[in-house]
Amino acid sequence: MTWDGLEIDMLSLGNADSILITKWTNGDAERVLVDGGRPEDAQTVKSFLDSQQVSRVDHLVCSHPDSDHVGGLVELVRGNSVCIGKGWVHQPDLHPGGKHLAELLRGQKLSETVGHLQKTFAQQDELVRTLRDKGVPVEEPFAGKRIGYVEVCGPSEQYYEQLLTDIKSIVEGDLNYYCVEKAGRKVWHDYGCDISVGRLLEGSTRPENDTSTVLLVADEAGKYLFTADAGVQAQKRATEYRDLSGCRWMQIPHHGSRYSCDPELVQYFRPKIAFVSAAGDCDHPSSEVIEAYEKAGATVYATYQAAPPGLHGYRGDVPPRDAPQSSTPL
């Protein structure tokens, strides 16, 4: 049979992301892998690709440098199990603000408060080096570019450079963020922001999360939106670049964190179906976030309630699977 359709696989990796997007045209598959979870998740991602007889990924996308997105990609590329056509990774060193940031991250011992930046940006650099060592071309994913059939809606290069400047300020001052104990858990907040419990907050997303690549697949069947860990401001900027209203499907940002959700934006997106990759703990996904999407008319599915290997959505004619995946809506 000649397959013509679209498939979305969101793997169950706890509070980590790995999504395989597959477009079938006249029986041929074009695949885009977005993120690979943590380093220890690489084997799970590889096993899934093997189970689907995927030996080639046309495009590999690192949405942003957090370890739960980039870590598994480094291990996957290093393992030589999958042929990769092209890599899409932001490279701070290529930007004025990023050059100074790179020097700061490499040249000083940072406090625990921002030390995670050293690790995450180092993994992103390692991914770029590993791809190039394998002879894979690498390009930065900025708004307006196309990754095969996928359109990049954010960040713009200008916004990315602004975020690099914000990150550099954090590293230089080590005062722009502080960590507070709340209900027995540590939560990151912007310096001076309101931390009242029970209310969705805007503006409390770390700037490295706002560098998340926002992707769109748009066809005759509708819009499919991929958001990674983009915060409210990053999402708003993506809507200024592209009409993202009335989605058929979307990824709930940042594992369902309430700090990356704005009810008015959710009403704008109005997805019919929403997937969230989350561990199912007290914060991810937030019950407030799920309620916001349900009020907008979405049927919400979560990876922690899905049978292994995770959530599977499709439209059109796609190859049948030996063990069809099923999940119950939240």
Q: Is residue 315 part of a domain?
A: no
Question: What's the structural domain count of the chain?
Answer: 1
Q: Is residue 294 part of a domain?
A: yes
Integer angstrom CA distances of residue 167 from 40, 163, 205: 27, 6, 12
Residues 237-241, mean pLDDT to the nearest whole number: 97
The pLDDT value given to residue 167: 86
Q: Check pLDDT > 60 for residue 185.
A: no
Domain containing 16 equals: 4-309
Q: Check pLDDT > 70 for residue 325.
A: no
Q: Is residue 316 part of a domain?
A: no
Q: Is residue 89 part of a domain?
A: yes
In this structure, the dihedral spanned by the alpha carbons of residues 322, 217, 62 and 55, taken in order and rounded to 10 degrees, is 40
Q: Is residue 318 part of a domain?
A: no
Q: Is residue 94 part of a domain?
A: yes
3-state DSSP call for residue 290? helix
Q: What confidence category does residue 187 fall into, taking pLDDT thresholds of 50, 70 and 90?
A: very low
Q: What confidence category does residue 319 fall into, taking pLDDT thresholds of 50, 70 and 90?
A: very high
For 101-146, write each residue's pLDDT tens digit.
877 777 666 666 567 788 888 999 999 999 999 999 999 999 999 9
CB 226 within 8 A of CB 252: no
Q: Is residue 243 part of a domain?
A: yes
* CATH number of the domain bearing residue 107: 3.60.15.10
Of 154, 138, 48, give the one whose Cα is nearest residue 86: 138
pTM of the model: 0.90
Of 63, 158, 170, 169, give the one whose Cα is nearest residue 115: 170
Q: Is residue 319 part of a domain?
A: no
